[in-house]
Amino acid sequence: MTVLDTVSGRIIDTDNHEYVPAHMWVEQFGEASKPIAEFFVHEHDPNGLSSYTAPVYEDEGPVSKELIEKGWGTNRPPVGAVAPGAINMRRRVKVMDTYGVDQTFIFAGGPGVIGYMFIQLSPERVGQLMGGLNMTQEQLLECGRSLLAGYNDWCIETAKISPRLRPVAFIDTTDLDRAIAEIDRVAANGIRAVSMPHGMPPGGISPGHPDADPLWDAFVRHDLPVLFHAGGDHGILNSSAWSDYGHSNGVGRALDSPEGVLDPWTWSLMHLGAQTTLSAMIYGGVFERFPTLRLGCIEVSAHWVGPMAENLRNVGLQFRRLTGHLTLTPEEYIQRNVRVSGFVWEPIDAYFDRFPWLQDVLVYGSDYPHYEGGQDPSAQFAEQLARFGPEVLEKFFVTNAQLLMP
């Protein structure tokens, strides 16, 4: 019996993705995706690790743990569109069974990610990431909204497959009235989790300000967790100058992962949007006014959570006149209202050593079928955390995430 066997069959995976290739986008996500699909079909590297243009029409590979991890006569596991269950969500349930997963969130892999990008970025930044695609700011916003609408419709249909699948609808928060209307729509159609950009103020308002409360109220009213995910933070580093620091990642195209650029600078800062938004929410009293609001920070790393809370508490003590409305410490708000997933290569055990309260906060996410999720991440996490005993493993793989997936 392995350490992982104690939770097998009950694991909650907070991070899965669809990976429909671009030549199938119109079929699955609607006509609005056609121009962007054509762009990727002509421009994207079909041999990239996370290619949008893999020449497949169905994920026909057998659902076998050994084959998923080792591939078919290759030196790396199948990722992207060729992975079992990447296209057909009915087969994704079989993959979950193979890994002992009971429930999972399904995040966007194509049009949803691109739509999210378009509503956050300037034409100049989009041009840097997707050379050859020229749009005005108005065109980007219109196209982004159309892509998100088509993706959310896909989520609504996918949610009907199995209650174990929880596709995550993406919400455009550039306009709060529009955002609330879309939250109402997807919730009425069976969606049980939504994501919003965390690198830009919703509706141009600080997320901690009472004027943004109608947005938080909509999530609470529908009992929906709101999720911050990689790719939702583009706005906070909108300038193309930040990433041009003199070293190429060598891949060729900048957009070489569905959520963005695969380079050390980008990945070392991918938590900034979540940290900035969450800090404003805590200091602004959002969790005081909405004590049942549930928030997940998924695939944005976990190293920052403990130090952020420590810093918020220390700084807050110097501004008691401006923080007197808060009845809990930042750590206590996070323990009660927030869950965070880390990467398999992070020293999660070291985080627990330094900040034991994080044992109630961090959750498991595999990132399947993305390359950066690694090989057999559940086993790797279990091995790393085994020294803390079965109670901590139960929290990490099962009970902590029940806040987001009751």
pLDDT confidence of residue 254: 42
Q: Tens digit of pLDDT for each residue in 178-198?
A: 999 999 999 999 999 999 999
Distance from chain centroid for Cα 255: 17
Q: What is the token pair recorded at 158?
A: 């996918």
What is d(CA 345, CA 229) in angstroms, rounded to the nearest whole number? 18
Rg of the chain's alpha carbons, rounded to an integer? 20
Full strand arrangement of the beta sheet holding 194-195: 169-170, 194-195, 226-229, 295-298, 338-341, 362-363
**Residue 100 in contact with residue 4, Cβ under 8 Å?**
yes
Who contacts 24 (Cβ-Cβ below 8 Å, separation ≥6)? 57, 87
Bridge partner list, 105: 166
pLDDT confidence of residue 47: 62
**Residue 260 in contact with residue 289, Cβ under 8 Å?**
no
Which class for 136: exposed (0-12), middle (13-18), buried (19 or more C-beta within 10 A)? exposed
DSSP-assigned letters across all residues of 62-125: ---HHHHHH-SSSSS---GGGSTTSS-HHHHHHHHHHTTEEEEEEE-SSHHHHHHHHHHS-HHH
To the nearest 10 degrees (0 to 180), the angle between helices 176-188 and 213-221 is 0
DSSP-assigned letters across all residues of 306-321: HHHHHHHHHHHHTTHH
pLDDT confidence of residue 249: 46
Q: Tens digit of pLDDT for each residue in 23-70?
A: 999 999 999 999 999 988 887 666 665 578 878 888 777 788 877 776
CATH topology for 3-403? TIM Barrel (3.20.20)
pTM reported for the whole predicted model? 0.92
pLDDT confidence of residue 247: 56
**Residue 367 in contact with residue 69, Cβ under 8 Å?**
no
Q: What is the pLDDT along the chain (406 residues), one digit of tens a residue?
A: 788 999 999 999 999 999 999 999 999 999 999 999 998 888 766 666 557 887 888 877 778 887 777 665 555 567 788 889 999 999 999 999 999 999 999 999 999 999 999 999 999 888 888 877 889 999 999 999 999 999 999 999 999 999 999 999 999 999 999 999 999 999 999 999 999 999 999 999 999 999 999 999 999 999 999 999 998 888 787 665 666 666 554 444 445 555 656 566 676 778 889 999 999 999 999 999 999 999 999 999 999 999 999 999 999 999 999 999 999 999 999 999 999 999 999 999 999 999 999 999 999 999 999 877 778 899 999 999 999 999 999 999 999 999 999 9
pLDDT confidence of residue 373: 77
What is d(CA 367, CA 344) in angstroms, rounded to the nearest whole number? 10
